[in-house]
Amino acid sequence: MVDLDKSKIQAVAQYIDEVSKQFSTGKATEHSYRPALAKLLGDLLPKFTITNEPSRIQCGAPDYIIAKGNGPTSIPVAFVEAKDIGDSDLDGNRQHKEQFNRYKNSLDHILFTDYLDFHYYENGMPTQNIRIAEIRGNKIAVLDANIPMFLEMVAHLAESMPQKITSSTKLAQMMAAKARLLAEVIEKTLETDSEKTGELAGQWKSFQKVLIHDLTERQFADIYAQTICYGMFAARLHDDTPDTFSREEAATLIPKTNPFLRKVFQNVAAFDVDTSIAWIVDDLAETFRVTDMPKVMKNFGKATGQADPMIHFYEDFLRYYDPKQKKACGVYYTPEPVVHFIVNAVDEILKTRFNLSDGLADTSKVTIRQTSNLYTDNRTKDHKKYETREYHKVQILDPATGTGTFLAEVVRKIYSGMENQKGAWQNYVEEHLLPR
């Protein structure tokens, strides 16, 4: 049981008194009570930071964020969504269903309240309902008998830890839920930034300039959310110190061979990251921090022969994030044993039916005569010019490259046949592998 500190009981009494004053005016809205609840949470949780910023709320964040510690390194541990006094849908069965389900599915610990009644959800499941006051006429009266249970619930909330994940399916589901919430927050942030001068708007414009010129706000939000979520997964896979994992550390763990992803995470990890998304990115990082990654990946891909989680886990993630997008983009990875068989079969056919003794490693070339059209300076007449060019006889084509599973297996196959001539590998790659 929680220690019934008299100062905390007094804090609840003062809170109810303030709420009652606002309620008795007959003009109060759900926003009128926000300062009082923020003060109460601050009084009950003095070692935590209670954030209630209208700008964040407008962009899709819960009304209150309870974070351990202070400043940019604080870690979100719980959230509170408040509705008006007397709201009868605190379980999200009617008008709040979409919003509440989104929060329940993506946030491990959240309170839904009408300032008098508090419904606590843990890992998406209802845990406690406690009412600390009731309406009597035009005033609010405290329910003294329920205060100890309320204080105990708040104390438990403060000690909450993210759900420890030990299965790849659960991790994919949690990543997808948080990524969907992140995408929605990003889209709303862009919509509210009418002048398009914010950090996210600047990155959206950069994406348009460098990647997709007609990229919409929704498409950018989708790409950006997936990039952050999956990039953090990639970083966590290669983290030897999981106890200290954070968005800042993730930025240093992204390989230098992926400069695009590193650049995105340098922006995300910066202390001046857009505050509208910082809270959900930090919450995502905390989920990864407590994930038992060795156990999650221990049996990953055994049934389908997918050995590389960095490549193949995306299919699982996208299945839960957006199944329609998964189908539309054809994100269905060929099992590695099948890839291995096809590549070996092609190599064998090249040797036996086409008489190319080196198979996929063949270096022979063919000469092809090509025609090109040239124009006079005044571009009034055509002139044909014939050119001859050499090409490697064996060209390697993967019409649905995706993450390059087939191409990677071809490289491995060729490399394995050159074990006794490793010194020649570098020249072979430049002259006979990359060109085809």
The CATH number given to whatever domain includes residue 113 is 3.90.1570
**Residues contacting 46, CB < 8 A, separation 6+:** none
Is 163 among the domain residues?
A: no
Tens digits of residue pLDDT in 120-142: 999 999 999 999 999 999 999 99
Cα separation of 96 and 119, whole Å?
14
Cα separation of 313 and 331, whole Å?
11
Cα separation of 67 and 45, whole Å?
10
Tens digits of residue pLDDT in 242-290: 888 988 888 888 877 777 777 777 777 665 677 888 899 999 999 999 9
pLDDT band at 332 (very low <50, low <70, confident <90, very high): low
Region class of 26: left (phi > 0), else alpha (psi between -120 and 50), else beta: left
Residue 289 contacts residue 242 (beta carbons within 8 Å): yes
Point out the least confidently predicted range of 15-24, 98-107, 225-234. Answer: 225-234
Q: What does DSSP assign to residue 333?
A: P
Is 1 among the domain residues?
A: no
62: which 2 tokens?
Answer: 């819960």
Tens digits of residue pLDDT in 370-401: 776 655 555 555 556 778 889 999 999 987 77
Region class of 69: left (phi > 0), else alpha (psi between -120 and 50), else beta: left
Which one has a higher pLDDT value, 299 or 60? Answer: 60
Q: Are residues 66 and 41 in the same domain?
A: yes
Is 92 among the domain residues?
A: yes
Percent of the chain with pLDDT over 90: 50
Tens digits of residue pLDDT in 65-74: 999 877 666 7
Tens digits of residue pLDDT in 168-210: 889 999 999 999 999 999 999 999 988 888 888 988 998 898 8
Q: Are residues 13 and 107 in the same domain?
A: yes
How many C-alpha atoms does 98 have within 13 Å on its Cβ side?
4
Task: Assess whether pLDDT exceeds 60 at residue 331.
Answer: yes
Residue 112 contacts residue 100 (beta carbons within 8 Å): yes
Which one has a higher pLDDT value, 212 or 333? Answer: 212
Q: Are residues 316 and 345 in the same domain?
A: no
pLDDT of res. 347: 95
Q: Are residues 324 and 343 in the same domain?
A: no
Is 419 among the domain residues?
A: yes
Q: Are residues 321 and 180 in the same domain?
A: yes
Domain final residue pick, 277, 301, 328:
328
- Say whether 222 sits in a helix, a strand or coil: helix
**Residues contacting 171, CB < 8 A, separation 6+:** 165, 291, 296
Cα end-to-end span (Å), the chain? 71
The residue with tokens 């007397």 is 86
Domain final residue pick, 284, 310, 328:
328
Residue 132 contacts residue 120 (beta carbons within 8 Å): no
pLDDT of res. 403: 67
Q: Are residues 184 and 210 in the same domain?
A: yes
Number of folded domains that form the chain = 3
Is 273 among the domain residues?
A: yes
pLDDT of res. 25: 93
313: which 2 tokens?
Answer: 């886990």
Task: Assess whether pLDDT exceeds 80 at residue 300.
Answer: no
Q: 343 lies in which domain range?
A: 336-433
Degrees, nearest 5: CA angle 133-138-143: 15
pLDDT of res. 367: 92
Q: Are residues 292 and 343 in the same domain?
A: no
Cα separation of 104 and 106, whole Å?
6
Domain final residue pick, 130, 158, 186:
158
Q: Are residues 191 and 152 in the same domain?
A: no
Point out the least confidently predicted range of 231-235, 323-327, 386-390. Answer: 323-327
Task: Assess whether pLDDT exceeds 80 at residue 158.
Answer: yes
Q: Are residues 53 and 179 in the same domain?
A: no
Q: Are residues 340 and 207 in the same domain?
A: no
Tens digits of residue pLDDT in 99-118: 999 999 999 999 999 999 99
The residue with tokens 């870690």 is 75
Q: Give rounded-to-5 percent helix, strand, coil for the chain.
A: 55, 15, 30
**What is this structure's pTM?**
0.75
Q: Are residues 350 and 420 in the same domain?
A: yes
Q: Are residues 33 and 125 in the same domain?
A: yes
- Mean pLDDT of the residues in the chain: 86
Cα separation of 193 and 201, whole Å?
8
